[in-house]
Amino acid sequence: MTKEYDVIIIGAGPGGMTAALYASRANLKVLMLDRGAYGGQMNNTAAVENYPGFKSILGPDLAEEMYQSATQFGAEYAYGTVTAVKLAGTDRIVVTDDGEYHAKAVIVATGSENRKLGVPGEEKYSGRGVSYCAVCDGAFFRDRNVTVIGGGDSAVEEAIYLTQMVKHVNVVHRRDQLRAQKVAQERAFKNEKIDFTWHSNVIAINGDEQKVTSVTVKNNQTGAEEEVPTAGVFIYVGNVPMTVPFKALGITDEHGWMVTDNRMRTKVPGIFAIGDVRQHQLQQITTAVGDGGIAGQEVFSYLQELN
Ligand code: NAP
């Protein structure tokens, strides 16, 4: 039996859950599909301090609060890995590894994932010292020395988080200025467990075949290379959009980010995109939530016009 909805939201992070709340409150039949647990990247975040209404809240707790809101007017949630979206007249068919769903509109809220550094040893030692999630893996490095790579919000915030359990954090950054928000920078500079290696790149992650033992750090001004012992390497060098299933629709830019207007509409009628997956600068829980509210409302208008 075909499963039919007014709107299917692909991705149940903060954007997707907000869109579900708005669309279901407008009496639409809504399904959120996600290949993992609802909450998205919030589940990998320790303290969230820039979501209004909460001075500080754990990412997974905020995810739970949002899920309770999102489903209170009947929005459904299901597991499913989406492999494609097909167009059939005004129908939008969402293909998953477990069958097809039909809807009149689709909201893409799949977010982004960590960019790989692309150096020798990264893949080999992934899960054996190389990590992209301090909240998930930090506890494995209790009282050890670890390396964080990057200079954005993620690198700096996760470095601070790691100091709760590790002995020392060395942040390796390719410039001598951080991109992270000032409040996080100041906190990191004050933290005695954190130091910074500026103008430097990690060019190799080394190990003893079982686990990471060191990184090779190259100063990009002097060219000098040094092998620095470390038990863990946390990589935060930005992110890439999760848009492979939507490539055929021609609604992404040359880097794969979704292109929309300010009503969250892509150039394909009935397909919207919100949150981190969208081509824009600021990637925040608050901006994803804002996008979700707009898309939830816009879907309602789109369906009214269709009928
Ligand atoms: P990001 O802001 O894109 O920062 C990536 C960092 O990695 C930059 O410092 C960049 O250096 C460096 N980098 C990029 N490619 C590299 C390479 N090949 N080798 C070495 N270094 C490299 O990524 P992010 O920190 O993951 O954050 C992503 C988005 O989420 C941002 O919009 C961020 O504001 C947001 N975010 C917000 C919060 C919060 O508000 N609490 C928390 C986490 C993330 P350069 O600086 O030289 O370019």
Q: Which CATH number fits domain 3-113+239-306: 1.10.10.10, 3.40.50.2300, 3.40.50.620, 3.50.50.60?
A: 3.50.50.60
Tens-digit pLDDT profile for residues 249-277: 999 999 999 999 999 999 999 999 999 99
Q: What's 152's DSSP letter? A: S
Question: At 44, is the pLDDT very low, low, confident or very high (cuts 50, 70, 90)?
Answer: confident
pLDDT of 45: 87
State the angle between helix axes of 285-306 and 14-25 in degrees (0 to 180), rounded to the nearest 10: 40
Residue with CA at minimum distance from ligand 1 atom 39: 153
Q: What is the mean pLDDT of residues 273-294?
A: 94
Closest ligand 1 atom to the C-alpha of 282? 32
Q: Where are the domains of the chain?
A: 3-113+239-306, 116-235
Distance 32 CA to ligand 1 centre (A): 28
Q: How far apart are CA 70 and CA 68, in angstroms?
A: 6
pLDDT of 143: 98
The dihedrals phi and psi of 298, each to the nearest 5 degrees, come to: -65, -35
Q: Please give the sequence-ordered ranges of beta strands (E in DSSP) within the chain, or none if there are none.
A: 3-10, 30-34, 47-48, 57-58, 76-79, 82-88, 91-96, 99-108, 112-114, 130-131, 145-149, 168-172, 194-197, 200-207, 212-219, 225-229, 232-235, 239-241, 271-273
Q: How many C-beta atoms surround the C-beta of residue 10 within 10 A? A: 27
Residues 6+ apart with CB under 8 A from 129: 205, 207, 211, 212, 231, 232, 233
* 32 within 8 A of 96, measured Cβ to Cβ: no
Tens-digit pLDDT profile for residues 203-254: 999 999 999 999 999 999 999 999 999 999 999 999 999 999 999 999 999 9
Best probe residue, ligand 1, of 179, 185, 186, 200 (max atoms within 8 Å of C-beta): 179
Q: What is the mean pLDDT of residues 183-204?
A: 98
Question: At 3, is the pLDDT very low, low, confident or very high (cuts 50, 70, 90)?
Answer: confident
Tell me: pLDDT of 20 over 90: yes
Nearest Cα neighbor of 64 from 20, 11, 12, 2 is 12
Higher per-residue pLDDT: 62 or 281: 62
Asked if the domains at 3-113+239-306 and 116-235 fall in one CATH topology, the answer is yes
Higher per-residue pLDDT: 283 or 296: 296
- What pTM was computed for the model? 0.88
pLDDT of 1: 54
Question: At 2, is the pLDDT very low, low, confident or very high (cuts 50, 70, 90)?
Answer: low
Span 116-235 CATH architecture? 3-Layer(bba) Sandwich (3.50)
